[in-house]
Amino acid sequence: MSLFKTREFWSVTDDTEEEFDQSSLKISRLNGDSDFVLIGSHSGLLKIYKPSTDLNENNVLSPYKANDLIIEKNLNFPILQIGVGKLVSGSNQVQIAILHVRSFAVYSLTTKDGAVEHGNQNMINLLYEHKLRRAAANFIIGGFGGSENRDFIAVQSLDGMLSLFEQETFVFCCFLPNFLLPGPFVYSKRTDSFLMAGTNWKIESFSYKTLSAIGQNSQESDISGLKFQPDWSFGLNEDVVDIQYQFGELSKEGFVVILGERNVVCLSDSGKLKFMKRLEYSPMCFTTYLLSDNKLMTLVVSETNSLLLYQNTMLRWSAQLPNSPISIGRANFKNLRGSIVTLTESGELSCAYLGTQPSLFSAPPLINQELDYEQAEMEMATLSKVIRTRFSNDLKLSNKNEHELGLELNVNPHLEESVFKSAHRENDYAMMCTVTVVLSPRAIFEEINLCVHVHKPLKVHPQSAFFANLSEGTSFQCQVHMDEEAEIASIQVTTIATCISSIGVPKIFKKTSVLPLNLVLKTNPPMKENNLKITLNINENSIPLSTLFPENALTLSSNAVCFANVSNEGSPVTILLAKSSQRYRLQSDSLASLNLCTQELIRRLQKYFANNKTFKITFNSSLPLTQLVQYINEHFEYRRKVNFLQNELIQLGAQFRLIQKRLISKFKDKNPTPLTNLDMLLNDTYNETLRTTVDLEKTTMDLSRSQTNLSSALYLILTLVQIMEDVDDRGLLENALAPIVEDYEGQNWEDVLDASLNHLLRTTLAKSEKDQLRAKYTCYEEVKDLAKLEKHLMMVLERVCKKGTILEVTQDEENVDHDEAKEDEDVIPVGSRLGESSTRLLSARKSLLRRRQKINEDN
């Protein structure tokens, strides 16, 4: 906030709701004794003012009067920019140049002296007009090529074409190199060159001589031009708001002043940096002028309506403006030189000068009283405690702040049949489950982003919702259905609400629930024999299956039930209830199919015995790792095949484009030459591309199916490990195995798994202190051979599921440890004495373990 305000003496407001921009203001004498103010709106309204600065009887400047507006004319086309110059051949008078979207017009202002008291009569007449074939952006006027008594015109179009006119005659046109969007540009009189600001954040200089040579014999209808480079360029590293050029008559040097988003930069004509001023605010517009002693002055308007006057980089004055101008200029009126003219976006035009009228705000007087330091210290401690308590609670990313946001997740157990569009099928019918999320805000939140997540192949629509400034309770409803035919890893649905509090602190609220089982599974007749079997033991009396699955009670037998995927994917799963023991057996021919039924059976048993704290479910058999390894191999092969097909498709695409280019060059040749079977090669390449595309699409679908199968198998292994007895570090497996299988470009699931397993084997699951002292695993290369990955997986599972006894070191573990030791640079050489002693100790320990194992087997 500036201490002083500008002294406004003349202003006028446009009541026609016109719109103006930075190029809508121009100040010029127009063959008179004082300056005129010209403004042009986007609707085509041209106004010319000549402010009357006569002094009244109180020696005060007179305000706006009706006859200050000398011209008001509607040109019927939007006015993009206004300029002035000697634009008529054979005349030294100054004319008005108006740039429209498709034309460039030149007008003359004529004045007839009035014979009565109403004053003079002013008129503008159209002298000539250039029709533009391209949409214009801006223009400049100057004595190009060293012309002294007449001015030429350069118009820049939206597509980068620069058209030059010598008054009434079109001269040439050329295209600017590396063009993207038009920017401001100026003309340097001393070097006879154009200085342009482009979207590459550089100031580039193009000499008029070079442009005229490039554009020789060109026409306005040209669509391309020769390539050429700028004479010099200067990197700004920011967007350019405006450029102005000042030429010092005394020193015969030019100043190129650039207003950027955060800096004011001054360059010489040759592109050398004179000075640079860093701005602590966002500038809106600026203007420059030279003093009589060749000092450069810069007027900059900030976003806070402050007007700042700089001499080079030194701030000389600062004043507050009454409005927010979009354009600013400096004018010399009668009785007042150096007036500041500002134009707002809505058309408010005002003239002011830098006075010393202070702001009306005055600071209240200070109350002089003695300070009680003990009381101030106690108050400071109390306030600090309140601040710590308040912000420590706000900065916690908690999902249990029920007093701030009530989040309810309701799943409708009744399914509805509806039509949907899948990624592989269109307009298919499927059963849908309705999920409703209820939000009850009890605090102020600026933003709430709600997202509902389900596991593949389930799909939710719509998936997210956004709420701003939510103060009342609301609900969000979505539908969940099967998107493709595949196994289901989990039927859990999760909703996450990410919120921004009123003080800008992020908070996360999370709720989970379970979808209805009949959304993904259907009942089948029980199967008698299957290859895979899982037995679950409980320490309470068995619960009938009709009680655990009440929604399927009508189709259940007394002690058996069979579930199958609704899309007929996978293998049916049969659940058997033992009559004489407390056991449940699940059997199927597919490990991935067993996952969902096992999870659901355990969840329903735990829910039924929720009030029984001694209830336990256990699994005492061996883990089905053979089938898990098969799923890993299947996923790995599909991933490699997808990568191979993608590379082949890239090569075919490059080959197809190369053949096309050669055919086009032959067709363009004036003397026809034989195609040399290029057309046959093009046809074969096209057919091969189609075949590869079809194979890639099919393989991608197979890869997606293998991902869901592998994810289901991993979830099953984790579920069984959770209920096994004498298992340590259950949480390690869930983090290491990564049950949500996803493949990214440059990083597959196997790469992440291999890095996680190696890290566990060298840190938490290391068998000895020597293994822990080895170098940490930091190699994250692509897995090309699954043999070592399978060995690492077996080792991790054996060490986690050790059941209280020390397992024997198998031959595979010895080989893997030996291979890892070769890769480790920090291993002590065996030839040294310390290496020999440590190697002997390790061999002796292994021999001792074998003897203990043999003794236990004999007993």
Contact between 185 and 171 under an 8 Å Cβ cutoff? The reply is: no
Query: So what's the pLDDT on residue 266?
Result: 95
Query: So what's the pLDDT on residue 44?
Result: 93
More confidently predicted of 848 and 34: 34
How confident is the model over 142-155, as a mean pLDDT?
Answer: 91
H or E stretch covering 331: strand 325-333
More confidently predicted of 806 and 617: 617
Contact between 42 and 21 under an 8 Å Cβ cutoff? The reply is: yes
**pLDDT one-digit tens code per residue, 198-210:** 888 999 999 999 8
Query: So what's the pLDDT on residue 109?
Result: 92
Task: Tell me if residue 457 falls in helix, strand or coil.
Answer: coil
Neighbours of 334 (CB within 10 A): 14
Neighbours of 149 (CB within 10 A): 9
Query: So what's the pLDDT on residue 579?
Result: 76
Instruction: Give buried/exposed letters for 472-501 (b at 16+ CB in 10 A, else e).
Output: eeeebebbbbbbbbbbbbbbebebbbebeb
Domain spans, the chain: 20-288, 405-517, 523-621, 646-827, 829-859
User: From residue 599, how far is each of 413, 526, 723, 829 by CA, in Å?
Assistant: 18, 19, 11, 50
The three state secondary structure string of 153-211 is: EEEEECCCEEEEEECCEEEEEEECCCCCCCCCEEEECCCCEEEEECCCCEEEEEEHHHH
Query: So what's the pLDDT on residue 288?
Result: 95
Could you write out the DSSP letters of every residue in 592-638? HHHHHHHHHHHHHHHHHTTT-TT--EE--S---HHHHHHHHHHHHHH
Task: Tell me if residue 348 falls in helix, strand or coil.
Answer: coil
Contact between 675 and 662 under an 8 Å Cβ cutoff? The reply is: no
CA distance 197 to 181: 10
Query: So what's the pLDDT on residue 26?
Result: 95
User: From residue 99, how far is each of 82, 133, 135, 136 by CA, in Å?
Assistant: 7, 13, 11, 8
CA distance 755 to 753: 6
Whether the pLDDT of residue 829 is over 70: the answer is no
Amino acid present at 245 = Y
Non-local CB neighbours of 104 within 8 Å, separated by 6+ positions? 97, 98, 129, 130, 132, 136, 139, 153, 155, 165
CA distance 472 to 444: 10
> What order of strands is seen across the sheet that includes strand 169-175?
136-142, 152-157, 161-166, 169-175
Whether the pLDDT of residue 834 is over 50: the answer is no
Residue 837 confidence class, pLDDT cut points 50, 70, 90:
very low
Closest CA to 821 of 787, 780, 783, 771: 771
Non-local CB neighbours of 155 within 8 Å, separated by 6+ positions? 99, 104, 130, 132, 136, 138, 139, 162, 163, 164, 165
Query: So what's the pLDDT on residue 842?
Result: 47
Of the listed ranges 64-78, 110-124, 153-167, the one predicted with least confidence: 110-124
Q: What are phi and psi of 770, to 5 degrees?
A: -65, -40
Query: So what's the pLDDT on residue 854?
Result: 58
CATH architecture, domain defined by 405-517: Sandwich (2.60)
Whether the pLDDT of residue 173 is over 50: the answer is yes
Contact between 506 and 401 under an 8 Å Cβ cutoff? The reply is: no
Q: What are phi and psi of 226, to 5 degrees?
A: -75, 150
CATH architecture, domain defined by 523-621: 2-Layer Sandwich (3.30)
Whether the pLDDT of residue 566 is over 50: the answer is yes
Residue 815 confidence class, pLDDT cut points 50, 70, 90:
very low
Query: So what's the pLDDT on residue 524?
Result: 86
Contact between 548 and 604 under an 8 Å Cβ cutoff? The reply is: yes
More confidently predicted of 802 and 245: 245
Contact between 351 and 6 under an 8 Å Cβ cutoff? The reply is: no
Closest CA to 553 of 596, 523, 594, 515: 523
Q: Residue 107's beta-bridge partner residues? A: 96, 126
CA distance 697 to 118: 84
Of the listed ranges 10-19, 127-136, 759-768, the one predicted with least confidence: 759-768
Non-local CB neighbours of 538 within 8 Å, separated by 6+ positions? 582, 583, 584, 605, 615, 616, 617, 618
Query: So what's the pLDDT on residue 807?
Result: 33
Closest CA to 599 of 492, 704, 741: 492
Task: Tell me if residue 378 falls in helix, strand or coil.
Answer: helix
Query: So what's the pLDDT on residue 647?
Result: 92
More confidently predicted of 505 and 630: 630
Non-local CB neighbours of 812 within 8 Å, separated by 6+ positions? 791, 794
CA distance 230 to 271: 11
Whose tokens are 């029984």? That residue is 612
More confidently predicted of 552 and 476: 476
User: From residue 298, how far is each of 3, 309, 312, 316, 710 by CA, in Å?
Assistant: 19, 6, 7, 10, 69
Instruction: Give buried/exposed letters for 5-44 (b at 16+ CB in 10 A, else e).
Output: bbebbbbbebeeebebbbbbbbbbebeeebbbbbbbbeeb
Tell me which DSSP letter residue 677 carries.
T
CA distance 431 to 566: 10
More confidently predicted of 161 and 855: 161
* CATH number assigned to the domain covering 20-288: 2.130.10.10
Query: So what's the pLDDT on residue 782?
Result: 80
How confident is the model over 31-51, as a mean pLDDT?
Answer: 92
- Angle, vertex CA 111, rays to CA 109 and CA 112, nearest 5: 150
Burial (CB count within 10 angstroms: exposed 0-12, middle 13-18, buried 19+), residue 50: buried
**Percentage of the residues of the chain whose pLDDT score is greater than 90:** 40
Residue 404 confidence class, pLDDT cut points 50, 70, 90:
confident
Could you write out the DSSP letters of every residue in 796-810? HHHHHT-TTSPPP--
User: Average pLDDT of the chain?
Assistant: 83
Q: Taking each helix axis as running N to C, give the angle between helix 625-668 and helix 591-608, from 0 to 180 degrees, rounded to the nearest 10.
A: 130
Contact between 99 and 80 under an 8 Å Cβ cutoff? The reply is: yes
How confident is the model over 432-449, as a mean pLDDT?
Answer: 87
Instruction: Give buried/exposed letters for 218-236 (b at 16+ CB in 10 A, else e).
Output: beeeeeebeeeebbbebeb
CA distance 354 to 339: 8
Contact between 709 and 487 under an 8 Å Cβ cutoff? The reply is: yes
Of the listed ranges 310-314, 426-430, 504-508, 645-649, the one predicted with least confidence: 426-430
Amino acid present at 51 = P
Residue 534, sorted as left (phi over 0), alpha (psi -120 to 50) or beta, turns out to be beta
**pLDDT one-digit tens code per residue, 690-726:** 999 999 999 999 999 999 999 999 999 988 888 886 6
More confidently predicted of 294 and 86: 86
380 CB-side CA count, 13 A: 6
For 836, the token pair is 């020999």
Question: Rounded to a whole number, what is the distance in angstroms from the first to the last CA of the chain?
Answer: 93
Residue 286 confidence class, pLDDT cut points 50, 70, 90:
very high
- Angle, vertex CA 12, rays to CA 121 and CA 40, nearest 5: 70
pTM of the model: 0.51
More confidently predicted of 49 and 677: 49
Whether the pLDDT of residue 513 is over 60: the answer is yes
